[in-house]
Amino acid sequence: MPGAELTVIGPGGERRWSHRQVVSMAEGQAVAVAGLLDDLGRSTHATFETADADYRASIPIDVVVEKAVIDPGDDDGSFRLLVPQGRTLCWNVKGVTRIRLTIGPEPDSVPADPSH
């Protein structure tokens, strides 16, 4: 799936990143999410969503900008969100295809008090 895209939607517009573009931005094996969010407007939260929308994690933007990275993986075209030292391991989302920037949190599928 090298043709896969990561779409970032914010109050200031929408931007699509191809797998190849994300790989080219990688320092080591990951890309700081903050670098994907430029010029898309102010927000308080970022919601990371899988293609089927079955899994969503709404994360405060300050955590995203400070800690979150996207691992573009190898050549399979999948994107994985990693939030080192995040509040929960549920913030590490496999198969991310969309990031929505919002004012306020969106409903997500992450349990409020996960067991891990």
Asked whether residue 13 is assigned to any structural domain, the reply reads: yes
Asked whether residue 109 is assigned to any structural domain, the reply reads: no
pLDDT surpassing 80 at residue 87: no
Residue among 49, 43, 54, 41 at smallest CA distance from 14: 41
What total of structural domains would you count in the chain?
1
Residue 58, pLDDT score: 92
pTM of the complete model: 0.85
Residue 41, pLDDT score: 78
Q: Sheet containing 13-18: which strands, arranged edge to edge?
A: 13-18, 5-10, 96-102, 45-50, 56-60
CA distance 66 to 70: 13
Residue 53, pLDDT score: 77
CATH number of the domain to which 51 belongs: 3.90.420.10
Whether 97 and 4 have beta carbons less than 8 Å apart is answered as yes
Per-residue pLDDT of 12-51, as tens digits, reads: 889 999 988 998 888 778 999 998 987 777 899 999 998 8
| Structural domain boundaries enclosing 22 | 5-102
Residue 3, pLDDT score: 56
Residue among 97, 29, 94, 100 at smallest CA distance from 59: 100
Asked whether residue 114 is assigned to any structural domain, the reply reads: no
